[in-house]
C-alpha cells in the first residue's frame, strides 16, 4: 500500500486523490514533492494525522494559503497537512472586540467579518484573499499597518496547536493578559510550522477608525524622500502606515498609478492617517506639512474611491515588479529606520555589482524593506547572480544592525542566514528548542534552520514570486 492508501484507510476522504500541484509549492514557486495531501476538518483530526505520521517517521509539512515567499510550505516528501477545511469561526463577540477562528479562515474573510461589526483586525498582511490566519500567525506576518498597530502576533491572545508526537495544546484564550507560564504562544507564533501546527487562534480586535486618509508625497529623489521619512517620525506624528517606494519601483507602477504618475516623481512616501475624522484630518495635515516640504507633488484623496484606488495600486506593486522581467528575487530585510536611505542606496549598488536591475520599497516606518532584483525566471545565470545579490543584502542588513527577515521568515530559502545575526549560544538554543518540540525532526523539516550551511550546500534557486 502507498502512503496515500494507508492514510486513506485511516482518515478517509480527508486524504486527497493524488497530490495536486497547488499543494506542492507556494509563492516562492519552489517545486516540492509529497506522498500525500491531507485536509483534516477539525483540530482533533489534524492532531490525529500528526500523531499517525509521527509514529511512522513520516514528515509533515503544514500548509496555510500557500502565499509564503520563503518556501516555508514547500514539502520534501511525506504528508502535506493543509488547513483549508479548518475554516470555522468558533466564536465572534464583536461587543467584546474578539474572535476565535480556526487556522484555515482566510485573512480576507476574517477582515470582512469583523469590519461588518465596526471592528478591525489591525494588522493587514498581504494576499488576504488567499492567505489564511493560521499561516499569518505561523509566520508572524506584518504589512503596512504594523507601524502603528504591530504585527499579527501582537493580536493573538490564545493559540491552539497540534504538537509532536501528536497532542493538541492550548495556551491563552479570550484573555488580554497572562504571565502564568513561559510564553509558549509567542514561541509558536512565527515558528513557521516547525514546532507545531496551529489549528486555531483567539484574536484581539479593535474598533475600526472612523476614517482612513492616505497621503502620497512624491519627492525628487531618495535623499529627499528619506529625509521626509525621518522628519515625520522626529516630529512626533503617529501615522497608521509609513511606506516608501524608490524610483525603480515607481517606474514599475507608473502606468497604473491612479490619475497618472506626477512628473519628476522619483520617490514616494506613502503615509496614512486614521482615527476619528478630526483626528485623521489633523494627522494628515501634519503629514503634508512635515513630509511635504520640497515635494514635487502631493496627493491626498478624500473620497472612498480614490483611497481604495491608491491602496490597490500599492498592493499591486509587487506584481508590477514581477511583470517587468517575469520574476523577482526579493527579500524583506529590516534595518534601524535611520538606515533606510543607506539600505535603499546599497540595494541598488548591490544590483549593479551583480548586473541586475534592483529596486526597493516597503514598510519604512518599521525599517522593513522589500529589496528586489528583477530576473527572467528562465535565465539560470541571472538566478545565480540574484542569489549572490541577496547574500550581499543579508550581509548589509546585519551590518546595519538589522535583521534578515521582517515578515517573510526563514522558510527554506533563508536557512542558515540567522547565523549572521545571532551568536553561537542563541543559535544553539534555537536548535535545541526545535529538538524539544520535534525530537524526530518531522515537522516541516529543513525550514527555519538557523545554523550555518554545510560547506558547498546552498538553498535552491527560486524567484520568490
Return the number of the residue (329 or 369) whose C-beta is nearest a copy of itself.
Answer: 369
Q: Which is nearer to a copy of itself, 109 or 186 (CB)?
A: 186
Is 405 in contact with 394 (CB distance < 8 Å)? no
Q: Which is nearer to a copy of itself, 16 or 168 (CB)?
A: 168
List the one residue from 58, 418, 443, 462 that touches a copy of itself (CB under 8 A): 418
Q: For a copy of itself, what does the binding mask look like between residues 366 and 405, x meaning CB under 8 A?
A: xxx--------------------------------xxxxx
H/E segment holding residue 271: strand 267-275
Q: Which of 8, 222, 354, 363 binds a copy of itself (CB under 8 A)?
A: 363
Q: Cβ of residue 35: shortest distance to a copy of itself, in angstroms?
A: 27
Binding to a copy of itself (CB under 8 A) within 317-336 occurs at 334-336
Instruction: Identify the residue among 436, 453, 458, 460 touching a copy of itself (CB under 8 A).
Output: 436
Task: Tell me which residues in 178-207 interact with a copy of itself (CB under 8 A).
Answer: 178-184, 186-187, 189-191, 195, 206-207
Question: Given the rule CB under 8 A, which of 6-14, 78-86, 226-234, 344-352 is the region that contacts a copy of itself?
Answer: 226-234
x-marked contacts with a copy of itself along 77-96 as a string, rule CB under 8 A: ----------------x-xx
- d(CA 356, CA 315) in angstroms, rounded, equals 24
- C-alpha cell recorded at residue 161: 496547536
Q: How far apart are the first and last CA of the chain?
A: 37
Using alpha carbons, list the distances in angstroms from residue 80 to 162, 195, 197, 289, 359: 14, 15, 12, 52, 35
Cα separation, 218 vs 250, whole angstroms: 10
Residue 437 in the binding site for a copy of itself (CB under 8 A): yes
Cβ pair 249, 219 in contact under 8 A: no
Angle between helices 340-353 and 222-234 (to 10 degrees): 150
How many CB atoms neighbour CB 96 within 10 A? 11
The DSSP code for 167 is: E
| Dihedral sign from CA coordinates of 316, 335, 428, 157 | negative
Q: Is residue 272 involved in binding a copy of itself (CB under 8 A)?
A: no
Q: Rule CB under 8 A: say whether 51 interacts with a copy of itself.
A: no
Contact between 453 and a copy of itself by CB under 8 A: the answer reads no
Amino acid at each position: 500500500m502507498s502512503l496515500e492508501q494507508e492514510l486513506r484507510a485511516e482518515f478517509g476522504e480527508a486524504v486527497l486523490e493524488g497530490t495536486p500541484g497547488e499543494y506542492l509549492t507556494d509563492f516562492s514557486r519552489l517545486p516540492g514533492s509529497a506522498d500525500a495531501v491531507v485536509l483534516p476538518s477539525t483540530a482533533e483530526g489534524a492532531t490525529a494525522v500528526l500523531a499517525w505520521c509521527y509514529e511512522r517517521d513520516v514528515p509533515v509539512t503544514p500548509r496555510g494559503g500557500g502565499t509564503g515567499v520563503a518556501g516555508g510550505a514547500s514539502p520534501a516528501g511525506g504528508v502535506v497537512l493543509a488547513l483549508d477545511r479548518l475554516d470555522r469561526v468558533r466564536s465572534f463577540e464583536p461587543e467584546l472586540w474578539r474572535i476565535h477562528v480556526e487556522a484555515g479562515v482566510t485573512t480576507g474573510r476574517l477582515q470582512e467579518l469583523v469590519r461588518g461589526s465596526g471592528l478591525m483586525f489591525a494588522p493587514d498582511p498581504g494576499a488576504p484573499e488567499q492567505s489564511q490566519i493560521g499561516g499569518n500567525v505561523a509566520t508572524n506576518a506584518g504589512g503596512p499597518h504594523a507601524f502603528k498597530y504591530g504585527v499579527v502576533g501582537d493580536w493573538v491572545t490564545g493559540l491552539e496547536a497540534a504538537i509532536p508526537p501528536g497532542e493538541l495544546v492550548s495556551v491563552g484564550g479570550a484573555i488580554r493578559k497572562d504571565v502564568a507560564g513561559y510564553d509558549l504562544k509567542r514561541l509558536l507564533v512565527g515558528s513557521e510550522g516547525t514546532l507545531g501546527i496551529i489549528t486555531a487562534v483567539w484574536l484581539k480586535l479593535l474598533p475600526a477608525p472612523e476614517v482612513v486618509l492616505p497621503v502620497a508625497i512624491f519627492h525628487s529623489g531618495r535623499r529627499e524622500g528619506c529625509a521626509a521619512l525621518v522628519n515625520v517620525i522626529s516630529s512626533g506624528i503617529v501615522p497608521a502606515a509609513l511606506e516608501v517606494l524608490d524610483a525603480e519601483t515607481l517606474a514599475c507602477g507608473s502606468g497604473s498609478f491612479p490619475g497618472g504618475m506626477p512628473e519628476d516623481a522619483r520617490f514616494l512616501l506613502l503615509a496614512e492617517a486614521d482615527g476619528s475624522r478630526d483626528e485623521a484630518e489633523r494627522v494628515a495635515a501634519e503629514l503634508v506639512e512635515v513630509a511635504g516640504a520640497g515635494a514635487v507633488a502631493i496627493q491626498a484623496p478624500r473620497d472612498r474611491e480614490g483611497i481604495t484606488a491608491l491602496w490597490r495600486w500599492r498592493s499591486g506593486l509587487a506584481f508590477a515588479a514581477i511583470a517587468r522581467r517575469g520574476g523577482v528575487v526579493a527579500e524583506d530585510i529590516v534595518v534601524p529606520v535611520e538606515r533606510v536611505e543607506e539600505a535603499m542606496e546599497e540595494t541598488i549598488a548591490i544590483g549593479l555589482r551583480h548586473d541586475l536591475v534592483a529596486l526597493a520599497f516597503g514598510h519604512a516606518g518599521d525599517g522593513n524593506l522589500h529589496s528586489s532584483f528583477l530576473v527572467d525566471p528562465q535565465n539560470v545565470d541571472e538566478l545565480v547572480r540574484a542569489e549572490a545579490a541577496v547574500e550581499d543584502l543579508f550581509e548589509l542588513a546585519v551590518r546595519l544592525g538589522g535583521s534578515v527577515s521582517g515578515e517573510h521568515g526563514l522558510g527554506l530559502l533563508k536557512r542558515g542566514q540567522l547565523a549572521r545575526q545571532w551568536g553561537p549560544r542563541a543559535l544553539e538554543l534555537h536548535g535545541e528548542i526545535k529538538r524539544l518540540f520535534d525530537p524526530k525532526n518531522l515537522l516541516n523539516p529543513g525550514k527555519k534552520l538557523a545554523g550555518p550551511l554545510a560547506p558547498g550546500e546552498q538553498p535552491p534557486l527560486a524567484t520568490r514570486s
